[in-house]
């Protein structure tokens, strides 16, 4: 599996999750909501997102 770290802006709407490259402002990837599962724990500074099939994303913020 490829491991990639890219600064993105994340947006969510009624279709799904959209990742926009923070530097180029181009749409990086979109994932339909029906294919997403996520785990958010209070002791972690990130949200673990699984986009089926075989896509795992970790979104973290600088706060």
Token pair belonging to 21: 């490259």
Which pLDDT does position 7 carry in this prediction?
86
More confidently predicted of 62 and 7: 7
pLDDT at residue 59 greater than cutoff 90: no
The three-state (H, E, C) secondary structure of the chain, written as one string: CCCCCCCEEEEECCCEEEEEECCCCCEEEEEEHHHEEEEECCCCCEEEEEECCCEEEEEECCC
Q: pLDDT digits over 5-46, tens only?
A: 788 888 999 999 999 999 999 998 898 999 888 888 989 888
d(CA 28, CA 17): 11
Total-model pTM: 0.72
Q: Answer for the pair 11, 30: CB distance below 8 angstroms, yes or no.
A: no
């Amino acid at each position: 599996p490829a491991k990639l770290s890219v600064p993105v802006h994340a947006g969510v709407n009624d279709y799904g999750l959209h990742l926009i490259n923070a530097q180029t402002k181009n749409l990086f990837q979109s994932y339909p909501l029906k294919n997403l599962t996520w785990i958010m724990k209070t002791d972690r500074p990130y949200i673990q997102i699984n986009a089926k099939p075989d896509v795992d994303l970790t979104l973290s913020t600088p706060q």
